[in-house]
Chain A
């Protein structure tokens, strides 16, 4: 049973009077209690994908094609009011920068309460109690005191915990986390990831986790989608992606991870940069940086090839 399934999603933007597709034919699905990671470099359309699930793309963007099914509802067809009922209650989102995502003039309690007030009719005392339980849940010490702090009085890790508490406030069935640990240091990152896992086990929440960090993926994901330049180039289970990567881009990403064992070696990287939104190559978007490029790659975008169960790759040469 799929909780969220995205089919052939195409999202475009008007940039300088031109229309460019930032996300092309993206399809994926998340089951109940499962974690899907979307991996890719900056500017490859990860954030746009996640924002378009909640229909929060900036005003110059459009969902051109495709549908997003969530619990038998097509999110692309819902009215703005119906969408508002889903946001925060059924699907909540956690952003990259916890300091700027929290309103600086409100206390922690006000911010958590906001999520509850918007979606439910509850008494004031009950709200305070729920805020305290939520803060305990996400592992903030002395929640009764912290309740009346302002965001700038908390540390980065605590702020992100508060963001998670806000996301959990209405018991959503899906949480979209857009690089939630990027602004944190590694030890705090590990704590936050453990918190995600714990909460997921306890509440059977599905998680759509967006990151550029493969070490995070290895810790948290069940399934992985690798995105490049607006398309999904490879998808599969964590084992498949890490042990049997098929697409040259995935291989490149794995190779460029720093390894402790090879201290003396120079860190590998993929040459070149992600193509600009307005000047994308016609064929496979990765061919300018690929070492295996052939004529067919320049001419057309490859289709998915099924390798094993659930492991699919978009490449003309490999797979």
Chain B
């Protein structure tokens, strides 16, 4: 990073706290991944002990009724047990990795899509989509549809193609005429995407594709890029008119380099901040999906499905909901604090 970035970041106590907590959780998640996997893991998240149902946190395991491999490490249920006698601490450990990676992968996907789409809308937005582009798109999709044997769609494409061609015959300058600008098209798509209640969109998609850890990450990523795209578009619209972009052009810098080396660092600060907030909301979305039973499939624990299972015993065994709930709260909060500190530290005007 740039000189002085760390010096400013260090001064923000809350941001440092957020970073520290986050690193702590990350280490725990990696440890959890190691400790809960394999044939005979140290912390076995799926070991069922029907004799030891709903034990409160920090209670000792009853060694007399359990077989040797059923005894939890140190003989203590740190976070208690659930309705099947599974150790909640082990399940939390297993779920930590899922929750954290869901945040990162989903936000990584959404930021990547958002930057590209927003960047195109902001920088190339004034270009028009010409009618011959539309003809090419028609031909292209015609090819694809006939390749995958969707003949009705292929027929539809041919129809539009012929209609456009007919129109071309009547008016000669038609081909060169623009229909809509790139910006209008992209902002239109963004608005349409935003109109869907995204949680229900995710629910619908997850209902159709097999629910695995990675498909959930991808689906969350694919349905949450609109905010980033809008951010980047707005930033690029104002940056494009700045003198330093013209100055860079006058230096002979290529368009690609202008976008990624000169404009992106100016636009990246708000994007990074919204990304850290996005990680928090992706963790919440995953927890919500698991809570509703649409998330990662059952034997695997996530914070969301521990929460969901625990809700029936809210009054008898509150630790089942408190443990994952507090973990989610702390991670999300630490990320928000980290994001805000990042925003301040990335502002070059505050540097010295």
Contact = CB atoms under 8 A, between A and B. Distances in A.
A103 B244 contact: yes
B249 A59 contact: no
Contacts, number: 75
Interface stretch (A113-121, A199-207, A288-296): A113-121
A70 interface: no
Interface stretch (B16-24, B92-100, B250-258, B317-325): B250-258
Contact of B251 (A87, A100, A150, A152): A87
B269 to A, nearest CB: 9
Interface string B238-276: 000011101111111110010001100110000000000
Contacts of A105: 2, 265-266, 348
Interface in B216-235: none
Contacts of B13: none
B126 interface: yes
A119 B254 CA distance: 11
Contact of B248 (A114, A152, A153, A163): A114
Interface string A56-77: 1001000000000000000000
A166 B248 CA distance: 10
Contacts of A115: 251
A101 B253 contact: no
Given A95-B247, A103-B244, A87 B349 contact: no
B40 interface: no
A100 B3 contact: no
- Interface size of B as a range: 20 to 34
B126 A59 contact: yes
B352 to A, nearest CB: 8
A114 B253 contact: yes
B348 A152 contact: yes
A59 B123 CA distance: 12
Nearest to A97: B243
Nearest to B262: A103
Given A100-B242, A152-B348, A87 B266 contact: no
Contact of A103 (B257, B266, B351, B352): B266
A56 B249 contact: yes
Contacts of B254: 84, 118
A83 B251 CA distance: 10
A229 interface: no
A106 interface: yes
Contacts of A37: none
A118 B257 contact: yes
Interface in A77-92: 83-89, 92
A56 B246 contact: yes
Given A97-B243, A100-B242, A101-B243, A92 B251 contact: yes
A59 B241 CA distance: 12
Contacts of B349: 104, 150, 152
- Interface size of A as a range: 20 to 34
Contacts of A107: 2-3
Interface string B46-81: 000000000000000000000000000000000000
A59 B266 CA distance: 23
Contacts of B242: 100
Nearest to B242: A100
B351 A87 contact: no
A150 B348 contact: yes
A55 to B, nearest CB: 10
Contacts of B244: 100-104
Interface in A237-256: none
A299 to B, nearest CB: 35
Nearest to A116: B251
Contacts of A86: 252
A93 interface: yes
A100 B248 CA distance: 12
A147 B265 CA distance: 19
A100 B252 contact: no
Contacts of B261: 114
Given A100-B244, A148-B3, A114 B251 contact: yes
Contacts of B352: 153
B120 to A, nearest CB: 16
Nearest to B245: A103
B251 A118 contact: yes
Contact of B348 (A59, A88, A104, A118): A104
A54 B253 CA distance: 13
Contacts of A114: 248, 251, 253, 261
- Of residues B242, B244, B251, which shows the largest number of chain A Cβ atoms within 10 Å of its Cβ? B251
A85 B253 CA distance: 9
- Of residues A101, A103, A118, which shows the largest number of chain B Cβ atoms within 10 Å of its Cβ? A103
A171 to B, nearest CB: 14
Interface in B122-180: 126
A105 B253 CA distance: 17
B315 to A, nearest CB: 54
Contacts of A56: 246, 249-250
In the A-B complex, the 3 residue pairs with the closest CB atoms? A87-B252, A88-B251, A88-B252
Interface of B: 2-3, 126, 242-244, 246-254, 257, 261-262, 265-266, 348-349, 351-352
Given A107-B2, A118-B252, 18 more contacts: A83-B252, A84-B253, A85-B252, A93-B250, A95-B243, A97-B243, A101-B247, A103-B244, A103-B248, A104-B266, A105-B2, A106-B265, A115-B251, A118-B251, A118-B253, A118-B254, A118-B257, A148-B3
